[in-house]
Structure 1
Amino acid sequence: MTRPRRDPRAERAALLVATGEGTRPRLDRTVRRDGGGRLRRDPRRERDGQRVPGVLRPRYDLSQVSRPEAGPVHEAPRAVQAPVPTVVVLDAPAFLVLVVPDAAGGRLTPHDRQVLGAARVLAGREGGVAILAPGTCEGSGPAGADRLVRLDDKGGDALGDCDPGGYDPAGRAALVAEAIAELRPRHVLFPESPDGGDLARRVAVRLRQPLFSDVEAVAAGSIARPAHGRRVEQRTAPGLLVTLAADAVAEYAGPPREAREIPVRIETLARAAPAILSATTIPADPATVPLGLASFVAAAGSGVTDLATFREVVAALHATPGASRVLCDAGLMPRSSQVGASGTVLAATCYVALGISGAPQHLQGVAGCEHVVAVNTDLHAAMIERAGLAIVQDAQAVMPALLRLLTQDAGPTRDAP
């Protein structure tokens, strides 16, 4: 058996395209040869199929696929719908793991969310996590809470209105102990913070229960903490009262939970007068607070040339001043205000970056900040990508506008009785 001999001249002549008055031959490479073979691409036709009509200069929609056989085809881009997160509903939990957060200002702190993550580990699939909130607690469901418990004491907020001064640790410990007796949880977790640790020890004394404090490792059946100068590790089964150290357990990263509210009414007996007659919180001067302890930091970078206006913005925001390494190396800002891996690593709740592009060392210094606001002219700057709120504008124009808005907001308040 023999196959027919190819005639290259005849195949090439079959591909010729009439060009009218043209003097050179043109070949149609989109036509299949008689012997078969793969269709040859026509880049020009594919590019024409991607061209967007109705514009002065060529624009191309590269998400569209051109079809050379059918000519240019323009399809409307499909809207990509973000997946809706599914809320996990737990109707009848086998047991409860109670979390008593600090919840300063009605918001969960990063330490509180870590305690909720540890509670989810102890609860597993069958148990539920209940959070004992002093009032409105934002973000309880996404943080991993199945139930939200609000204590009512004579129709008021039990954890916040124990006395006119707003600070009664003994009364708060009594209410938490009564809530534990009412809910009967398997475990109760507190953050090992100045307020949370004090409350946990008061509750332990009132309930006459042992307290396993400063836990750094949490598993389904065991918890552990360092002891004897961190030379040994104490491990035991989870008990009733536990306090968790900061940055020891990861936050809950699963789907949001229901956070169904449970009304708990506690009929308390008449309590003795609190030993603390009055308590006043004296805020520290943000200008003198060390960067590592500041909760609100505003920093300037090379994009800020008017440092006097920057200092006015920092004072109006009641923030702690910071700076990038460029300004500190130039001597425009003190070295103690440098933010970054080679300066100070922040743990602030909010960080405002004015004119900072975001070097790798600077991004390492703000990795622990909860909220980041960036002002920069470069849309593709690393700090813009890191920020939760980005303003693509010159910092020199944003700072005076921000000062005007802050002055307008402070005006009625200053004149109010």
Structure 2
Amino acid sequence: MSDIIRRDPRAEWIARNRLHPLHAAMQPHQLSWMGPNGVLRKNVHGVGFIGPNGIKRIDRSGVQQGGSSKRVASTQEQRVLHQVPAPAFYIGVVPDMVGGRLSSHDRDLLGLARQLAGSDGAVLAVVFGESKETAFATAGVDRLLLLDSEGYAPEQQVLGLRAVDNQFAPRHWLLPDSRSGGAELGRRFAASLGERPATRVWQVKDGACVGRAGAGLQDVAQPLPRLILAAAECAEPVSETRHEALEVQLSTAIASCLPRIEDLGAVAVDPAAIPMAEAEFILSGGNGIKDWELFHKAAVALGATEGASRVAVDDGFMARERQVGASGVWVTARVYVAVGISGAIQHLQGIGACDKVVAINLDPGCDMIKRADLSVIGDGTAVLEALIVAVDNWRNASSGGAGLLANQATRSA
């Protein structure tokens, strides 16, 4: 055979075409290299590259938005592993864990803890109740402590934190100053320790912290205390390193107390009354929806909050406050189901913080399919009908609902 290296024009075309499904796989792994004249050259097509006009390139493959699990896994493997075999001290973090997962506020808090820990300290995350999170390592957690807790039990949680404080003696405690439970728990914990916390902290620098006061119109600077209740965006979340997230156990049992408040469970809320920015499950429709009555029926059956693309809103099928995207509402749902939405760049920006995206579309090459974690190529009407039947069968404790869903989805494809 000849030793001449031949070009592959098709592979080069795929590498230039950002919309091709194999575009990410054809990209060179080098982000920068030294040119023949000693000038450092950068790959202008790299993920997240800042162009000469200050515009960040968008990766339509879904890596930046949390798309394909395989691509995300490969990105995580490229991160530098940070290990702390013998921590000199601990930074304790108690995230809210709404829905059993880390929120954006929790990730900001872990980013702040990572700054305070430095290279010698370890970030100890204390999680109460059931945890569904699988990304503690990439969020900056060095040690993970899972404690049992059911419902609203702040008094018992304070006793748990006291036990953790006695065993690990963290240099600082960080809790989110939020309405999801962190603000109340942090103040209760501070009263138990007899310490005065710094609240609504949005900046920590050089041994001092700055917090909001006076209805958010003033800033108060003070020396960094041991207990910090931080606001959202207090620091940049961890994005360049991955950590061990080793599970640890308490050496002593947590004392029990007689609760003075009885938790009667969660109160049912109408999904239509939940603001889009706070909804955890969104069913969103676009130009591909032909039967909007069926769409509304499916949203009620699934218990999802309704959303829409800009095209559907402009056509008058949905209210303006239900528009998802950069020109509408930025959503952070745990599950986002897009039916008949092709995936304009403004819409993809609006769902960038969603954990799981499910796309139902007839076009296998649209951008929403590329962004989605799970794609269904088929008619949206048939799929929604199958979903309604499957949910009804599941609620009626009838067997065969999942099989009916699979059969109808197969016929629709």
- State the Cα distance separating 1:264 from its structure 2 match: 0.4
Matched, 1:130 2:124: yes
More displaced 10-residue stretch of structure 1: 303-312 or 194-203: 303-312
Counterpart in 2 of 1:148?
A: 144
TM-score, normalised relative to structure 2 = 0.72
Query: Amino acid of the residue matched to residue 218 of structure 1?
Result: V
Counterpart in 1 of 2:52?
A: none
Counterpart in 1 of 2:177?
A: 192
- State the Cα distance separating 1:302 from its structure 2 match: 0.5
Query: Amino acid of the residue matched to residue 388 of structure 1?
Result: D
Counterpart in 2 of 1:29?
A: none
**How large is the RMSD of aligned CA atoms in angstroms?**
3.2
More displaced 10-residue stretch of structure 1: 108-117 or 229-238: 229-238
CA distance in 1, matches of 2:369, 2:11: 26
Counterpart in 2 of 1:118?
A: 112
CA distance in 1, matches of 2:334, 2:118: 30
Counterpart in 1 of 2:23?
A: none
Q: Map of 1:19-30 to 2, 5 A cutoff?
A: none
Q: Map of 1:258-407 to 2, 5 A cutoff?
A: 258-269=244-255, 271=257, 273-407=258-392
- State the Cα distance separating 1:270 from its structure 2 match: 5.8
Checking the alignment, whether the CA contact within 8 Å between 2:112 and 2:234 is kept in structure 1 is no
Query: Which one of the candidate residues 74, 94, 107 is aligned to 1:100?
Result: 94
Query: Amino acid of the residue matched to residue 396 of structure 1?
Result: T
SS in 1 for 2:221: strand
More displaced 10-residue stretch of structure 1: 103-112 or 304-313: 103-112
After superposition, the C-alpha distances for 1:305-353 in whole angstroms (9 at most, x for unaligned) are: 0112212221222101112222222222233322234433323332211
Evaluate the alpha carbon distance shift between residue 62 and residue 193 of structure 1 in structure 2; reply closer, same or farther with a 3 A threshold: closer
- State the Cα distance separating 1:286 from its structure 2 match: 0.3
Q: Map of 1:33-72 to 2, 5 A cutoff?
A: 62=11
Counterpart in 2 of 1:257?
A: 243
Q: Whose Rg is larger?
A: 1
Evaluate the alpha carbon distance shift between residue 237 and residue 316 of structure 1 in structure 2; reply closer, same or farther with a 3 A threshold: same
Evaluate the alpha carbon distance shift between residue 268 and residue 357 of structure 1 in structure 2; reply closer, same or farther with a 3 A threshold: closer
Checking the alignment, whether the CA contact within 8 Å between 1:96 and 1:123 is kept in structure 2 is yes
- State the Cα distance separating 1:174 from its structure 2 match: 2.2
Query: Amino acid of the residue matched to residue 351 of structure 1?
Result: Y
Counterpart in 2 of 1:247?
A: 233
SS in 2 for 1:264: coil
CA distance in 2, matches of 1:284, 1:136: 22
CA distance in 1, matches of 2:168, 2:319: 54
Matched, 1:226 2:212: yes
Counterpart in 2 of 1:109?
A: 103
CA distance in 2, matches of 1:280, 1:401: 31
Q: Map of 1:155-234 to 2, 5 A cutoff?
A: 157=148, 160-161=149-150, 166-194=151-179, 195-219=181-205, 221-234=207-220
CA distance in 2, matches of 1:136, 1:171: 16
Checking the alignment, whether the CA contact within 8 Å between 1:122 and 1:219 is kept in structure 2 is no
Evaluate the alpha carbon distance shift between residue 367 and residue 186 of structure 1 in structure 2; reply closer, same or farther with a 3 A threshold: same
- State the Cα distance separating 1:376 from its structure 2 match: 2.4
SS in 1 for 2:210: strand
TM-score, normalised relative to structure 1 = 0.71
Checking the alignment, whether the CA contact within 8 Å between 1:121 and 1:218 is kept in structure 2 is no
Checking the alignment, whether the CA contact within 8 Å between 1:348 and 1:370 is kept in structure 2 is yes
How many matched pairs? Answer: 336
Evaluate the alpha carbon distance shift between residue 392 and residue 218 of structure 1 in structure 2; reply closer, same or farther with a 3 A threshold: farther
CA distance in 2, matches of 1:377, 1:270: 56
Query: Amino acid of the residue matched to residue 336 of structure 2?
Result: Y
More displaced 10-residue stretch of structure 1: 388-397 or 247-256: 388-397
Query: Amino acid of the residue matched to residue 339 of structure 1?
Result: V
CA distance in 2, matches of 1:193, 1:182: 27
- State the Cα distance separating 1:219 from its structure 2 match: 3.6
Gaps of 5+ in 1: 1-45, 52-59, 64-76, 152-156
CA distance in 2, matches of 1:303, 1:96: 52
SS in 2 for 1:351: strand
Evaluate the alpha carbon distance shift between residue 96 and residue 220 of structure 1 in structure 2; reply closer, same or farther with a 3 A threshold: farther
After superposition, the C-alpha distances for 1:184-210 in whole angstroms (9 at most, x for unaligned) are: 000111011220100000000010111
CA distance in 2, matches of 1:268, 1:383: 48
- State the Cα distance separating 1:108 from its structure 2 match: 2.1
Checking the alignment, whether the CA contact within 8 Å between 1:179 and 1:266 is kept in structure 2 is no
